[in-house]
Structure 1
């Protein structure tokens, strides 16, 4: 009997959740179809006006993972929240698959603002944005010029261009020119109609092999993306030609253009913490900016581990309530 009650309770919760999540599709200005989930608050009434938040997922992630978790939790706080899959990734359109360029990821966020600003019940004058990991770097890039985003937040921000250029913790500085040469050759092969080359593939590994990976971010990332939160649309790989754009990108370039309120969250033990601190220091014109550390958390733990998720959502809710 206890098991039956538990299952009934779980089904009830799942049905309520499903009623508040709305799969949508819309088209970017360049014609690429974007798949997204919109989360609405309990008691949502499309004749009323609600503040809205755009959530940008990590590199290789999809809307069903950490972006969806934070979107759902923020919707419970009274926001209409949209979590899209990036173009060329997840369930969104675009070929070749797994293109991952800063220009495209930034265009995704402008397009999300286009769509959500006209969604029933959204107050277009109260739109915020939250970027997670690589999505955090692209969030900063979008917010530099898109002033429809009235409040800007990042969680475990990852400066993708910096890492693709120099390697994590400068581990690939010696191979920059060789990797650029290979990326250029991959672009040439694509232009001639040849095979699309990919990099970043993550093979299935044993626990012993994972333990030998050099960085905590990669070890815990493997666990999250390939074990606990694996999704068929989520992959580490990206087109090698993407590096032509990625390696000349830096999330902090012209960051002084951000004049909106800015909240940046990071785990105090995250090996990516320095990226958040660097961007925060350079965002000299951001209003009422705040750097908030989740004590004891690593980068990946901020995606799904308690008490860090609850702490992050509490801080984000306070921030968006004040600034939207």
Structure 2
């Protein structure tokens, strides 16, 4: 897939329509989203619906649209959105990441879908890709209107912020990080604006960086998934909120609603899905796709198990 003239990283499927919509979350932040439906959509019936969140740092013109249009082709009403402070959505300062607000953005998507006369409020689900997988689960913990939740190549951003990669960060290291970030807040005060983490380079580097970062560059920096509003960096002082939030601590509150966890046997993020599958006490299914890496679940329609997603939501919505 390469970037299209319309600003999307994928072609719109034949038989699917896309409409740009806007609505507000409970913080009053305007959310920019795309609504996908089949071209022969019947507005006189009440339909199943799904809200789709992007990878952490991604936008609706990337992965969410890939999922949303395929589900729309299969008869669902599907909504792909830009998280608050990012993409075309509102919120200042730009490029904040917040576990609280990013979870709320899923619930705001449910609000919008439920306001449509042709959506059945009792049959709304959620899909989170990469970092949005954790936020979708977090939203489902407190919003029982989300009747079923699926994740693809899930990252639990708050868990890795607090505990490190594969839970390798010590308490002493975490506390030092908080000291460093407190100094950064003073630096932001003095500068009059928040500093950002490093953003994606203009071109794919010939050598380095580490294999995980290089995999992200393969998607976000090259024509495969590059989008000018998907820059890779968040405000440095966003991190304490994730550290304080911790991991997904209330998975039991999703039960008896079902969870579908999709990952790849080559995905560096696989352990996040396996951890949730182990910890969640309610109905759950773990699907490991052979030959799939983490970023392949952003756009590789030959590897994303759409038949499994369709069956999951048809059975549970």
Task: Give me the TM-score of the superposition, normalised by structure 1.
Answer: 0.88
Q: Does 1:241 align with 2:237?
A: yes
Matches within 5 A, 1:83-98: 83-98=80-95
C-alpha distance 14-77 of structure 1, shift in aligned 2 (>3 A): closer
Q: Report whether the alignment pairs 1:278 with 2:272.
A: no
Q: Does 1:261 align with 2:258?
A: yes
Could you tell me whether the CA contact under 8 Å between 1:183 and 1:242 is conserved in 2? no
Q: Give the conservation status (yes or no) of the 8 Å contact 2:204–2:217.
A: no
What secondary structure is seen at the aligned counterpart in 2 of 1:213? coil
**Higher alpha-carbon deviation: 145-154 or 171-180:** 171-180
Unaligned stretches of 5+ residues in structure 1: 1-12
Across the aligned residues of Structure 1 and Structure 2, the Cα RMSD in angstroms comes to: 2.1
| Residue 184 to residue 214, structure 1, CA distance change in 2 (3 Å) | same
How far, CA to CA, are the matches of 1:317 and 1:197 in structure 2? 41
- Which residue of 2 is the match for residue 53 of structure 1? 50
Displacement of 1:163 in angstroms is: 2.2
Structure 1 contact 159–250 (Cα < 8 Å) conserved:
no
Give the deviation of 1:192 after TM superposition. 6.9
Question: Which digits, 9 at most, give the CA deviation of each residue in 1:274-294, with x for residues without a partner?
Answer: 11000111111x23x111111
* Residues 138, 251 of structure 1: 8 Å contact kept: no
> Alignment partner of 1:149: what SS?
coil
Q: Which residues of 2 match residues 59-98 of structure 1 at below 5 A?
A: 59-98=56-95
Which residue number in structure 2 is paired with residue 222 of structure 1?
Answer: 217
Aligned-residue offset at 1:207: 4.0
3-state SS, counterpart of residue 238 of structure 1: coil
SS at match of 1:20: strand
CA distance in 2, matches of 1:192, 1:218: 31
C-alpha deviation, 1:161, in angstroms: 1.4
Aligned equivalent of 1:10: none
Checking the alignment, whether the CA contact within 8 Å between 2:148 and 2:313 is kept in structure 1 is yes
Task: Describe the superposition over 1:57-88 as per-residue Cα deviations: whole angstroms up to 9, x where unpaired.
Answer: 11000001011100110111100001110000
Q: Does 1:148 align with 2:141?
A: no
Counterpart in the other structure of 1:4: none
- The one-character-per-residue Cα deviations of 1:149-205 (angstroms, maximum 9, x if unpaired) are 111111111011122234434576574333322322333455678221111423345
Once the two structures are superposed, what CA deviation does each residue of 1:11-57 show, in whole Å capped at 9, x if it has no partner? xx85956x611100111122111100010123112222110001111
Which structure is larger by alpha-carbon Rg, 1 or 2? 1
Question: Do the aligned partners of 1:128 and 1:152 also contact (CA within 8 Å) in 2?
Answer: yes
Contact 1:56 1:132 in 2 (8 A): yes
Q: What secondary structure sits across from 1:89 in the alignment?
A: coil
Alpha-carbon offset, residue 214 of structure 1: 2.2
Instruction: Write out per-residue CA displacement over residues 247-270 of structure 1, whole angstroms, 9 at most, x where no aligned residue.
Output: 223342111111111111100111
Q: Does 1:293 align with 2:273?
A: no
Aligned to 1:110: 107
Summarize the alignment of residues 80-229 of structure 1 with structure 2, pairs less than 5 Å apart. Answer: 80-169=77-166, 175-190=173-188, 194-204=192-202, 206-209=204-207, 212-215=208-211, 217-227=212-222, 228-229=224-225
Distance 1:204 1:161 in 2: 28
CA drift at 1:313:
0.9
Describe the superposition over 1:114-167 as per-residue Cα deviations: whole angstroms up to 9, x where unpaired. Answer: 111112311111001111100000011000111111111111110111222344
Which of the pair is proportionally richer in helix?
Answer: 1
**Equivalent pairs, count:** 304
